[in-house]
Amino acid sequence: MNLKDLAVYARPEDSLNKVIESLSRLSTQVKHPGLVLVVNKENKLLGVFTDGDFRKAYSANIDFKSLISEFMTKQPITFEDTLSREELIKAINITIRESKRQKGWTRNIILLNKHGEVVNVIDFTELINDHQQIKYNIKIFGLGYVGITLAVSLAGKGNTVKGIDINQKLINQLNKGEPHVFEPGLSDLLNSSLKSGNISFSTSNNSNKSEIYIIAVGTPLNKFDKPELKALKNATNAIGKHLKNGDLVMLRSTVPPGTTRDVVIPILEELSSLKAGKDFFIAFTPERTIEGNAMKELKTLPQVIGGLTINCTRKASVFWSILTKSVVQLSSLEAAELVKLANNTYRDLSFAFANELALISDKFNINSFDLIHAANEGYPRNKIPFPSPGVGGYCLSKDPILYGCDPTGKSCVKTLGNIGRDVNIRASMYPIKVIERYSKIIKKDIKDFSILLIGIAFKGEPETSDIRGSVAVEIYNKLVPIARNVMTWDAVIDFKSLSSYGLNPIESIESNLDNVDAILILNNNHKNINWKSFLTSKNNRLIFDGWNLLEADEIEKIDCQSYATMGYITKD
């Protein structure tokens, strides 16, 4: 294409009148009408002027004999013509987000060569539309909560996704369209992606057709509270055997800082005979979604990215732009690894402070929810979170410990994260302390107690069926040896599932409360609350309201019924 066909050209000595006349005359002859490129005699770009600038000049009663150089946007936003389409889109998005100067920004993307000459002008809308048509061939290793929600989300965008996991039973289940985790929207999108052929599941990585590899396997702690990286190394080995030039590898698993550089990259380089950052790309891109809202947050949360090199970061950034509009680029792999650990360790620590306050409140029989509400009321700084009977879940129960470890596990230093974990573990045993206290009040031995645990999932809002790291399960296991009968119920987890976990479920909450000595409400899912049943009692009964979901006064009005929460129990 002749460059003169792209837009209207002008010299800096041209008057506004001359430029406007050219805009009018050539509007139907150029690809980008309304855009004026002001260049010098060597055709280097000096500035731009648009029909919008003209309207502003007209409104301001500017003398149209004035030179265009006085009103053009100097130092306009431009990009190198050497960028790939993907790199260009990412560079544009970063510029739009970070530029404090919006003047001169239009949908017209100006590309310059190394001499500062205009090479091309691209319509931004057309560029994005073209990019959205690009489809990737992706393999995701590990189909737990993180892996399956990501796999289905990417397949829903038209990409070809193969999910890989060593659990054959899980693979069979997923290929039937039956997700193993509760997540709004997951089942429908899984089944539509299976029908379209965009997603499949297998136990093996037997081809090198993919150009994108994502590791989402679990990285648990062993019995010595050291990081266990066996699954991560196995996934890395499987990828390394098929890795080829230009491929992109991204870690989604939460790992100790330094793992990507010191563990993953050496394995990939040895098995592939390729050089990281030169022959293939690698980045750490942490998962930060919340269970129960993951399908939405994959599209709305900023994606943090740290690459081995700037090109690795750019490559990963372009990929993630197919899911989210917001990307945060960091300077290194380790910075990105620490972001996930920082998020979860800070959360766990903040909850630990509230729980420690609750444990101190217990000495004075103070309802810690009332105490914290009073502390926060009208106070503009540092809102204190509310306490809970422990902090569970797969991530918060281990990430504060990984936070202080190296990849080998040989150097795990004690941090605030460890201290916070200790507090939250003590808080998780508080409900048992309350039952012991209650048994003394009513003079009945715990071995004769029938106890119902309500809310078995590790959290209630957003609701989930996940029991990994569930405080309720820990409490159940502690109570079973010492109480006559311990039962469980959860509004999200069905009877069959609770049975498969060995947790003695009940069919209906309404028909199982009359002869229960204690009810422990252990997560904050409001679907678990049955007010009508809670306000009737024929015998002595304790209701431990671990999340302050009930009205203490209403419970205590009932004869023979006692109320307890974090820090407080009915005394008479």
pLDDT tens figures, 477-507: 999 999 999 999 999 999 999 999 999 999 8
Q: Give dist(CA 337, CA 304) in Å, integer.
A: 9
The answer on 153 and 124 residing in a single domain is no
pLDDT in tens, 180-229: 998 989 999 999 999 999 999 999 888 778 999 999 999 988 888 899 99
The answer on 251 and 334 residing in a single domain is yes
Per-residue confidence (pLDDT) for residue 105, from 0 to 100: 46
For residue 84, the domain's CATH number is 3.10.580.10
Confidence of residue 92 (pLDDT cuts 50, 70, 90): confident
Question: Does 369 fall in a domain?
Answer: no
The answer on 323 and 197 residing in a single domain is yes
Q: Give dist(CA 126, CA 129) in Å, integer.
A: 5
Q: Give dist(CA 522, CA 476) in Å, integer.
A: 11
Residue 85 pLDDT greater than 80, yes or no: no
pLDDT in tens, 5-22: 888 889 989 998 888 888
CA dihedral 171→177→183→189, nearest 10 degrees, is 120
Least confident stretch, 5-19, 98-112, 227-241, 243-257 = 98-112
Q: Which of 310, 340, 370 is the last residue of a domain?
A: 340
Percent of the chain having pLDDT more than 90?
59
The answer on 140 and 122 residing in a single domain is no
The answer on 159 and 115 residing in a single domain is no
Question: Does 126 fall in a domain?
Answer: yes
Percent of the chain having pLDDT more than 70?
94
Per-residue confidence (pLDDT) for residue 130, from 0 to 100: 59
The answer on 332 and 239 residing in a single domain is yes
The answer on 148 and 259 residing in a single domain is yes
Q: Give dist(CA 336, CA 464) in Å, integer.
A: 27
The answer on 306 and 235 residing in a single domain is yes
Per-residue confidence (pLDDT) for residue 103, from 0 to 100: 40
Residue 93 pLDDT greater than 70, yes or no: no
CA dihedral 495→497→499→500, nearest 10 degrees, is 160
Taking a C-beta distance cutoff of 8 angstroms, is the pair 30, 5 a contact? yes
Per-residue confidence (pLDDT) for residue 287, from 0 to 100: 93
Q: Which residues of 355-377 are buried (b: 16+ CB within 10 A; e: fewer)?
A: bbbbbebbeeebbbbebbeeeee
Least confident stretch, 66-70, 108-112, 130-134, 346-350 = 130-134
Least confident stretch, 108-112, 163-167, 206-210, 301-305 = 206-210
Question: Does 261 fall in a domain?
Answer: yes
**Average of per-residue pLDDT values in the chain:** 89
For residue 279, the domain's CATH number is 3.40.50.720
Q: Which of 131, 164, 194 is the last residue of a domain?
A: 131
**Dihedrals φ, ψ of 34, to 5°?**
90, 0
Per-residue confidence (pLDDT) for residue 101, from 0 to 100: 41
CB atoms within 10 A of CB 36: 24
Q: Which of 131, 162, 197 is the last residue of a domain?
A: 131
Confidence of residue 2 (pLDDT cuts 50, 70, 90): low
Q: Which residues of 513-523 are buried (b: 16+ CB within 10 A; e: fewer)?
A: beebbbbbbbb
The answer on 175 and 142 residing in a single domain is yes
Amino acid at the residue 23: L
pLDDT in tens, 282-333: 999 999 998 889 999 999 999 999 999 988 998 898 899 889 878 899 999 9
Per-residue confidence (pLDDT) for residue 195, from 0 to 100: 95
Question: Does 358 fall in a domain?
Answer: no
- Runs of H (alpha helix) within 467-529: 471-479, 495-500
The answer on 279 and 161 residing in a single domain is yes
The answer on 123 and 163 residing in a single domain is no
Please enumerate, as own/partner, the contacts of 154-160 that have beta carbons within 8 Å and a separation of 24 or more.
154/322, 154/323, 155/189, 155/193, 155/196, 155/198, 155/199, 156/189, 156/192, 156/193, 156/198, 157/322, 157/323, 158/198, 159/135, 159/198, 159/322, 160/135, 160/136, 160/198, 160/199
Beta strands in 165-280 (DSSP E): 199-202, 212-215, 248-251
Residue 537 pLDDT greater than 90, yes or no: no
Question: Does 523 fall in a domain?
Answer: yes
Per-residue confidence (pLDDT) for residue 107, from 0 to 100: 65
Question: Does 376 fall in a domain?
Answer: no
Higher pLDDT, 214 or 59: 214
Highest mean pLDDT among 74-83, 408-417, 546-555: 546-555
Question: Does 347 fall in a domain?
Answer: no
What's the rounded mean pLDDT across residues 520-548? 88
Structurally, how many domains does the chain consist of? 3
Per-residue confidence (pLDDT) for residue 539, from 0 to 100: 82
Residue ranges making up the domain that contains 470? 429-569
The answer on 114 and 147 residing in a single domain is no
Question: Does 273 fall in a domain?
Answer: yes
